[in-house]
Amino acid sequence: MNVLGIIYTINAFLPLIRKGTVKKVLTLSSGQGDLDFALKVGIANAGPYSVSKAAVNMVMIKYAVRFKGEGIVFLTISPGWVNTLQGPRESRLPLSTTAQLTGCAGR
Protein backbone atom coordinates (compact mmCIF):
# COMPACT_ATOMS: atom_id res chain seq x y z
CA MET A 1 0.00 0.00 0.00
CA ASN A 2 2.80 2.45 0.83
CA VAL A 3 4.23 2.10 -2.67
CA LEU A 4 1.49 1.03 -5.07
CA GLY A 5 -1.10 3.33 -3.52
CA ILE A 6 1.17 6.30 -4.17
CA ILE A 7 1.90 5.24 -7.74
CA TYR A 8 -1.79 4.71 -8.52
CA THR A 9 -2.75 8.04 -6.95
CA ILE A 10 -0.07 10.02 -8.79
CA ASN A 11 -0.97 8.37 -12.09
CA ALA A 12 -4.66 9.12 -11.55
CA PHE A 13 -4.05 12.80 -10.78
CA LEU A 14 -1.22 13.38 -13.26
CA PRO A 15 -3.50 14.80 -16.00
CA LEU A 16 -4.85 17.38 -13.52
CA ILE A 17 -1.37 18.17 -12.17
CA ARG A 18 -0.14 18.79 -15.71
CA LYS A 19 -2.99 21.24 -16.35
CA GLY A 20 -2.69 22.95 -12.97
CA THR A 21 -0.76 26.04 -11.94
CA VAL A 22 0.81 24.46 -8.84
CA LYS A 23 2.72 21.50 -10.17
CA LYS A 24 3.81 19.82 -6.94
CA VAL A 25 3.32 16.34 -5.56
CA LEU A 26 4.15 15.65 -1.92
CA THR A 27 4.37 12.32 -0.13
CA LEU A 28 5.20 11.44 3.45
CA SER A 29 8.13 9.20 4.12
CA SER A 30 9.98 8.18 7.25
CA GLY A 31 13.49 8.19 8.63
CA GLN A 32 13.14 4.42 8.56
CA GLY A 33 13.17 4.61 4.76
CA ASP A 34 16.42 6.61 4.69
CA LEU A 35 19.31 4.20 4.21
CA ASP A 36 22.00 6.35 5.82
CA PHE A 37 19.81 7.32 8.77
CA ALA A 38 18.65 3.76 9.45
CA LEU A 39 22.24 2.50 9.37
CA LYS A 40 23.58 5.33 11.55
CA VAL A 41 20.83 5.05 14.16
CA GLY A 42 20.79 1.25 14.04
CA ILE A 43 17.11 0.72 13.32
CA ALA A 44 16.66 -3.04 13.39
CA ASN A 45 12.87 -3.34 13.58
CA ALA A 46 10.01 -2.62 11.17
CA GLY A 47 11.65 -4.26 8.15
CA PRO A 48 8.69 -4.29 5.75
CA TYR A 49 7.71 -0.71 6.68
CA SER A 50 11.29 0.52 6.19
CA VAL A 51 11.59 -1.24 2.83
CA SER A 52 8.29 0.24 1.61
CA LYS A 53 9.29 3.77 2.65
CA ALA A 54 12.67 3.38 0.91
CA ALA A 55 10.76 2.30 -2.20
CA VAL A 56 8.50 5.36 -1.93
CA ASN A 57 11.60 7.56 -1.85
CA MET A 58 12.90 5.96 -5.05
CA VAL A 59 9.51 6.15 -6.76
CA MET A 60 9.40 9.88 -6.07
CA ILE A 61 12.93 10.32 -7.43
CA LYS A 62 11.94 8.52 -10.64
CA TYR A 63 8.84 10.72 -11.04
CA ALA A 64 10.92 13.84 -10.34
CA VAL A 65 13.44 12.94 -13.05
CA ARG A 66 10.74 11.91 -15.54
CA PHE A 67 8.63 15.07 -15.18
CA LYS A 68 11.30 17.68 -14.46
CA GLY A 69 11.03 19.00 -18.03
CA GLU A 70 7.31 19.67 -17.49
CA GLY A 71 8.02 21.69 -14.37
CA ILE A 72 6.39 19.21 -11.99
CA VAL A 73 8.13 18.97 -8.62
CA PHE A 74 7.95 15.77 -6.60
CA LEU A 75 8.82 15.99 -2.91
CA THR A 76 9.09 13.44 -0.14
CA ILE A 77 9.24 14.68 3.43
CA SER A 78 9.65 12.97 6.75
CA PRO A 79 7.72 14.62 9.56
CA GLY A 80 10.14 13.34 12.18
CA TRP A 81 8.95 11.78 15.37
CA VAL A 82 5.17 11.68 15.64
CA ASN A 83 3.48 11.12 18.99
CA THR A 84 2.01 7.64 18.61
CA LEU A 85 1.75 4.54 20.75
CA GLN A 86 4.13 2.67 18.42
CA GLY A 87 7.29 4.32 19.71
CA PRO A 88 9.02 4.30 23.07
CA ARG A 89 7.25 6.27 25.79
CA GLU A 90 10.30 8.40 26.64
CA SER A 91 10.61 9.60 23.02
CA ARG A 92 7.08 10.96 22.72
CA LEU A 93 6.52 14.67 22.44
CA PRO A 94 4.04 16.15 24.91
CA LEU A 95 0.62 16.69 23.36
CA SER A 96 1.00 20.47 23.82
CA THR A 97 4.14 20.40 21.63
CA THR A 98 2.41 18.25 19.04
CA ALA A 99 -0.49 20.72 18.95
CA GLN A 100 1.94 23.61 18.45
CA LEU A 101 3.65 21.83 15.57
CA THR A 102 0.29 21.02 14.01
CA GLY A 103 -0.64 24.70 14.20
CA CYS A 104 2.60 25.69 12.47
CA ALA A 105 1.89 23.32 9.57
CA GLY A 106 -1.22 25.28 8.66
CA ARG A 107 0.66 28.53 8.12
Residues forming the active site: 30, 49, 53
Nearest alpha-carbon partner for 14 in 74, 76, 55, 91:
74
**In contact, 78 and 88? CB cutoff 8 Å:** no
Query: In DSSP terms, which residues pair with 25 in a beta bridge?
Result: 74
Q: Which residues pair with 91 in a beta bridge?
A: none
